[in-house]
Amino acid sequence: MTRHHEVSKSAGVAEPQQNARRIGYLFAATAVLMVGSTAVPAYASAASDTNPDFGPNVTVFDPSTPVDTINSTLESISHETEFSTSRHAVLFKPGTYGSDAGAADPATATGIVNAEIGYYESVSGLGAAPDDVTINGALHAEGVQTNATEPWSPNGDAALTNFWRSMSNLAINPIQRPIASDAARQFPEGVADPHQLRWAVSQAAPLRRVDVKGSLSLFPRFGGYSSGGYLANSKVSGTIIPGSQQQWYTRDSNIGSWDGGVWNMVFSGVQGAPAQSFPTPPETTLASTPISRDAPFLYVDAQGKYKVFVSNARTNAADVSWGTTAADGASIPIHDFFIAKPSNTASDINRALAKGQNLLLTPGVYNLSDAIKVTRSNTVVLGMGFATLTPTHGTSAITVGNVNGVKIAGIIVDAGAKNSATLVKLGSGHANAGSATNPTTLNDVFFRVGGPHAGKATTSLEVNSGNVVLDDLWAWRADHGTGVGWNANTASHGVVVNGNNVTALGLFVEHYQKNQVIWNGDGGQTIFYQSELPYDVPSQAAWMDGKQKGYASYKVANSVTTHSAYGMGVYSFFNVGPDIVDHAGIDAPFKPHVTFKDLVTIFLNGNGSIAHVINDYGDAVLSGDGQSDVVSYPAL
């Protein structure tokens, strides 16, 4: 049985640790429970708390690991392609990594950790707090080579498809020097960023619980665009420089300063955030976040035991919250988790869940003949290394019963070739009002219909329960990749919200064939929304909402009496030829407690137009007149 990689100073392992590992192997190989004549995979046990079997795609470093080994290991896993099926999680045990010598001149610095984070790669510290793991150097995301003639990628350098990577729960002293690929692309040598970390990404590439002891740049080194990113519960002591980053959401954080913006920069609960100023510059600032709950995370305690910390929900949050006391949340020992591998079936997983286990999904692609069924309140479903769930028989990938406090984090859900009515379904009917103090929470949950393979799904996420928090969610009907076309990767809606008092914090929903989002529940709120309409509409007749041209990206039902939304961008790029018209980017009832702040529509390229920003309000965007802003609706 292959275990995860633990990379340390010596090629060998001390005899006591060897013996402990042999015991772990023996336990994993022999501990199979028998129910009738059915073999049930073993759960983790207290004996494996210090050395759990995370499988071959998890690498664990400790402070004795040579920097060259760290860099070469990270380099070797950083080259996955956009739709690769490989997945990687990298964990750093508490301690300091790399030297801070040469910090003033990164071009000549030696002994630093210097690696690019690639597709399907999550990098996390294993401390109880971010500063328990310090990286001298840079774990960074750079622009990639594209067609230099594209107007949105000057010098062939862009990050518009830098998806599916993450970094969390560590501190970085930024000492960043150019990487080899800069030379390969024939860009100037010697470019360095003293005391600055670069994270040039678009969707599905979150930074959480990071402490950047310097500045943070959010766009490619040579000026190409990035398009949508997310930062939460983090500190940046210097300046955050968005540059050509088109939109970004920062919540519950502490920053030195912010400098610039393109279309839609949103802040909630951020110390050091810029003042409210939309649309010039395009910055939407809320003093606090009405309700939030951070993603669960792995850590190692003082006895070397692996645990998962689950934060309590926070109301009216501002600034970071890094505590791990009982007042901050709960620590769950790893032996309370079923540690799943891609070889496990839905039946394996559901038996474990039914017996009261939580679920840890190790890196890989899980082909599921049935839905993973969560039926117990407070269950944690935590993915590592962008673990990916694909239903193969037209079912959902995950269903959650009428229970409260479920946490689902760190996963990709891919539609299968047979159409699924829903990919993830929270609650049934409208029976569950949910809990305002213990909300079900989705953190870093990403959906794809098409792209890696052919896929179909009518709705990616259906929320029937109340008091749910959606925290960094990207639902994407693929506009490129495999199985892509108007009649190929069919998908009507990204998100449908039927429950009351649902909050979305960082909602990215793109290219679905009808409304991207339908909000039927009362008391809903969205802070930051990014949406591109479908590119591939074949004709106006094929894209009509009754008698109205096109479908609003974000639709609030006429029955809704209370709803609020802040910092919303809807964009068009109809690229198959016809002049397609969308009547409005947003459709909502005209009621006093249904309110919208800081809205923008953009004509990116192609043909056609968006006639209005919201309902019949706001100027059209079309070729030559590409942006329309609405500060408040209803206008006050």
- Domain with 471 in it: what CATH number? 2.160.20.10
Residue 136 CA to residue 213 CA, distance in Å, equals 10
Q: How far is CA 431 from CA 353, 371, 425, 465, 627, in A?
A: 22, 20, 14, 7, 42
Using a pLDDT cut of 90, give the percent of the chain over it: 81
DSSP code, position 104: T
The answer to whether 408 and 385 are in contact (CB under 8 A) is no
* Total of domains in the chain: 2
What tokens does 372 get? 């993973």
**Residue 42: inside a domain:** no
436, 581: one domain: yes
The answer to whether 47 and 19 are in contact (CB under 8 A) is no
283, 345: one domain: no
142, 266: one domain: yes
Q: How far is CA 548 from CA 119, 341, 508, 542, 616, in A?
A: 40, 48, 24, 12, 12
Q: What is the pLDDT of residues 430-448, one digit of tens each?
A: 779 999 999 999 999 999 9
**Residue 303: inside a domain:** no
245, 376: one domain: no
Q: What is the pLDDT of residues 602-629, one digit of tens each?
A: 999 999 999 999 999 999 999 878 999 9
Q: What is the H or E stretch that residue 457 is in?
A: strand 457-463
260, 347: one domain: no
Average pLDDT, the chain: 89
Q: What is the pLDDT of residues 162-205, one digit of tens each?
A: 999 999 999 999 987 655 554 444 444 334 466 889 999 999 99
Query: Binning pLDDT at 50, 70 and 90, where does residue 22 land?
Result: very low
Q: What is the pLDDT of residues 517-576, one digit of tens each?
A: 999 999 999 999 999 999 999 999 999 999 999 999 999 999 999 999 999 999 999 999
Residue 86 CA to residue 73 CA, distance in Å, equals 15
Give me the domain span that covers residue 400.
341-633
Which of residues 287, 304, 324 is at a domain's end?
A: 287
**Residue 330: inside a domain:** no
**pLDDT at residue 430, as a whole number:** 76
Instruction: Give burial (CB, 10 Å; 0-12/13-18/19+) of 75.
Output: middle
Residue 305 CA to residue 242 CA, distance in Å, equals 39
262, 350: one domain: no
**Residue 16: inside a domain:** no
172, 274: one domain: yes
412, 277: one domain: no
369, 230: one domain: no
Q: What is the pLDDT of residues 7-18, one digit of tens each?
A: 654 333 333 333
**Residue 19: inside a domain:** no
**Phi and psi at residue 30, to the nearest 5°:** -110, -20
**Could you tell me which residues come within 8 angstroms of residue 499 by beta carbon, excluding any fewer than 6 positions away?**
426, 427, 430, 432, 433, 434, 463, 464, 465, 466, 467, 468, 521
Residue 483 CA to residue 489 CA, distance in Å, equals 6
**Residue 389: inside a domain:** yes
What's the chain's Rg over C-alpha atoms?
Answer: 24
**Residue 352: inside a domain:** yes
Using a pLDDT cut of 70, give the percent of the chain over it: 87
**Residue 18: inside a domain:** no
**pLDDT at residue 598, as a whole number:** 98
Cis upstream peptide for 154 (omega within 30°): no
Name the residues annotated as catalytic.
532
| Residue 3 confidence (pLDDT) above 50 | no
355, 246: one domain: no
Residue 350 CA to residue 232 CA, distance in Å, equals 32
Count CA within 13 A, CB hemisphere, residue 239. Answer: 9
Q: How far is CA 558 from CA 126, 277, 585, in A?
A: 47, 30, 16
Q: What is the pLDDT of residues 114-162, one digit of tens each?
A: 999 999 999 999 999 999 999 999 999 998 877 655 655 656 688 999 9
DSSP code, position 433: -
92, 195: one domain: yes
398, 473: one domain: yes
Instruction: Give burial (CB, 10 Å; 0-12/13-18/19+) of 273.
Output: buried
**pLDDT at residue 398, as a whole number:** 98
Q: What is the pLDDT of residues 59-99, one digit of tens each?
A: 999 999 999 999 999 999 999 999 999 999 999 999 999 98
Residues 573-582, mean pLDDT to the nearest whole number: 95
Q: Pseudo-torsion of CA 334, 340, 345, 349, nearest 10°? A: 20
Of 440, 443, 445, 365, give the one whose Cα is nearest residue 412.
445
Residue type (1 letter), 360? L
Which of residues 250, 271, 287 is at a domain's end?
A: 287
**pLDDT at residue 1, as a whole number:** 37
